[in-house]
Amino acid sequence: MIITPLVVFFLVLVFVVVWLFINTIDKRKWLTLIVSLVLTPIAYFYLFYPMLNIFSSYHHEKHFDANAWEEQPALRYEMANQIITDSLLIGKNRNDIEALLGESEWFGWDENLKANSEEKWNYNMGSVPGAFNNLQECLELQFKNNSVKSVRPYQLEKTFE
pLDDT tens track for 82-113 = 888 888 889 999 888 888 888 888 888 877 77
Q: How far is it, in rounded angstroms, from Cα 109 to Cα 145?
A: 18
pLDDT in tens, the chain (161 residues): 677 787 788 888 888 888 888 888 888 888 888 888 888 888 888 888 888 877 776 667 888 888 888 888 888 888 888 888 888 889 999 888 888 888 888 888 877 777 888 889 999 888 887 777 788 889 999 999 989 999 999 988 887 76
In total, the chain counts a number of residues equal to 161
Predicted local distance difference test score (pLDDT) of residue 73: 86
- Hey, what CATH class is 66-157 in? alpha beta
Long-range contacts of 52-56 (CB under 8 A, 24+ apart): 52/10, 54/130, 54/131, 55/131, 56/130
> H/E/C letters for each residue in 37-53?
HHHHHHHHHHHHHHHHH
The confidence score (pLDDT) of residue 8 equals 81
**pTM for this predicted structure:** 0.66
Which of 92, 102, 67 minimizes the C-alpha distance to 151? 92
Chain region(s) in the chain for CATH 3.30.1450.10:
66-157
Whole-angstrom Cα distance, residue 152 to residue 141?
Answer: 7
pLDDT at 120: 92
